[in-house]
Structure 1
């Protein structure tokens, strides 16, 4: 099989596309013929050794995939060859095949294609876990989404609306905010032109947001913690800005607020039943038309460098997907 390989930490230009050994399923695994692989910000970190997960060399990036099962291990009873599935791989999806634990794949909805499915798991899984289990967001509460035009941000906008929240989308340009508006955002903030803190206060009549979804970190986190309502919850999702911020603990005291970490991968592994229930709801919303995943760019497998660069430069709107098979 062909695979994009990382043999030493470095930028996307350091990767190579080579022939690799075909995987063989262990007892609890399935081998997946990959049709499409989602591209996510952690992929840009893992190849540079900046992510919490550090696979042994050589490895392929790519934390999620969709395809068709070609073989199953002897202990796998709930899946069979020919099943269309999506999987949370962690790494390894920039390849024609992968062996993956059977508990880390889910059957694809019948009305979902491979490209959509490849970009669904991580963004919607993360945002659903964040808003349901971590924030316990309630109908009528105000949700502020930072980086609202990115993959997880757009998912958070859509899920927030499906859960009955009033959604304020914040992004760095008018073009990105139009994408968030099309996804259902009620209010828009261009934080390249105005103070995030002041704009949130104005939109909430001085109260602040009940839940803040932050995949950006850096300076925006610094403003967000000062834009939170009494008993608000600030969800720490990621640090796309590159700077991991420090939190002044006195602000939590003054607002009775919480800083809540979100690590969907660990949640899915530790609480598989709750994760499955999340996806059952997500698939239902998808079939009802409440979730409309936006895949803005697709690349072929040999265009992996371009796919990763668009993520690392923060130019992506919605999801970016590598099409491994036509």
Structure 2
């Protein structure tokens, strides 16, 4: 059996202008695969960095962006027993998500909760796993800790706060725009919310109210990273999972600006870490993609928390992919940006 599918494909990484909608053939799934008719696609910063050529894990040559999706199983490989045609699923893929149909190993999809929409399913796996792994595996999240979560109104930030609250921690969220402060105060249970600016360090110290800052979910970089590091208490852990300060609104990277930021980036000396008694860790979820047993264990633990579904802030249609990407780049989004297929 051969299906026809619609895909957004890049001839190579470099410019968002090169992303093109194409019609391609897709074969019957291999014995260990299922074919999913995609209903919703979740956008991530990794998509943008990959398309601009700033992501080390980007495939060489032509590739299809996209890391997470939800949909319906429409064909099942001969060796797959746990899935049937018609099952509602959500999944993670190492690129290849900007499509109407995809074949994927059966272990990279899980059941979409019956009460969740396809849009909610497309916004959960990558960002939920990112938040959970960073907090619990690297951050050693414990009840009573004080946690700073940057990009607090984004998909990772929202789920990170909900995970923290399940474990009884004090959370401080930081955002870059005033409307996001209001959203968090009204919709999410942060204990304090900071609007980042030139006085960020003072605001953070005030929000701590004498508490030791023990864990930072860092995705901004630059001065914000440096100031958080300085305030973080001994035995504290900073987990870096992104660098929003290096993102650009244009189709291509602004290399002079990136070089300037790179040269002015914080310099943290490893030789001083024992004296400071602080930990700096970094990870990229895509490098854990092959660790399927670990991913499934983390997913079971994450699902056992019983979190509310992801907050879906913006929904676009499949033919509006460019508009969705542009809004996502702007930094004006709240919650998850999803493209409906």
TM-score by length of 2: 0.87
1:187 aligns with 2:192: yes
Q: Deviations over 1:139-168 (max 9, x none)?
A: 100000111111111111111111211000
Check conservation: 1:7, 1:58, Cα contact below 8 A.
yes
Q: Tell me the SS of whatever aligns to 1:225.
A: helix
Check conservation: 2:13, 2:61, Cα contact below 8 A.
no
**Aligned counterparts of 1:193 and 1:218: Cα–Cα separation in 2:** 12
Where in structure 2 are there 5+ consecutive unaligned residues? 247-260
User: What are the within-5 Å matches in structure 2 for residues 247-266 of structure 1?
Assistant: 247-249=267-269, 252-266=273-287
Of the candidates 71, 74, 77, which is equivalent to residue 78 of structure 2? 74
TM-score by length of 1: 0.91
Check conservation: 1:232, 1:255, Cα contact below 8 A.
no
Match of residue 283 from structure 1: 303
Of the candidates 207, 220, 232, which is equivalent to residue 228 of structure 1? 232
Range that drifts further, 59-68 or 18-27: 18-27
Match of residue 138 from structure 2: 134
Match of residue 62 from structure 2: 58
Distance 1:23-1:10 versus aligned 2 partners, 3 A rule: farther
Match of residue 110 from structure 1: 114
Match of residue 300 from structure 1: 317
Match of residue 9 from structure 2: 5
Check conservation: 1:12, 1:309, Cα contact below 8 A.
no
Q: Tell me the SS of whatever aligns to 2:238.
A: strand
Match of residue 256 from structure 2: none
1:204 aligns with 2:208: yes
1:238 aligns with 2:255: no
Where in structure 1 are there 5+ consecutive unaligned residues? none
**Aligned counterparts of 2:274 and 2:322: Cα–Cα separation in 1:** 45
Q: Tell me the SS of whatever aligns to 1:37.
A: strand
Q: Deviations over 1:171-223 (max 9, x none)?
A: 1122112223321100111112622x222223334554100001222221111
**Aligned counterparts of 2:237 and 2:309: Cα–Cα separation in 1:** 26
1:150 aligns with 2:167: no
Distance 1:208-1:174 versus aligned 2 partners, 3 A rule: farther
| Count of equivalent residues | 319
**Aligned counterparts of 1:72 and 1:193: Cα–Cα separation in 2:** 55
Range that drifts further, 94-103 or 254-263: 254-263
Q: Tell me by how many angstroms 1:257 deviates.
A: 1.0
Q: Deviations over 1:2-23 (max 9, x none)?
A: 1111113333332111211124
Range that drifts further, 246-255 or 88-97: 246-255
Q: Tell me by how many angstroms 1:78 deviates.
A: 2.2
**Aligned counterparts of 1:127 and 1:229: Cα–Cα separation in 2:** 21
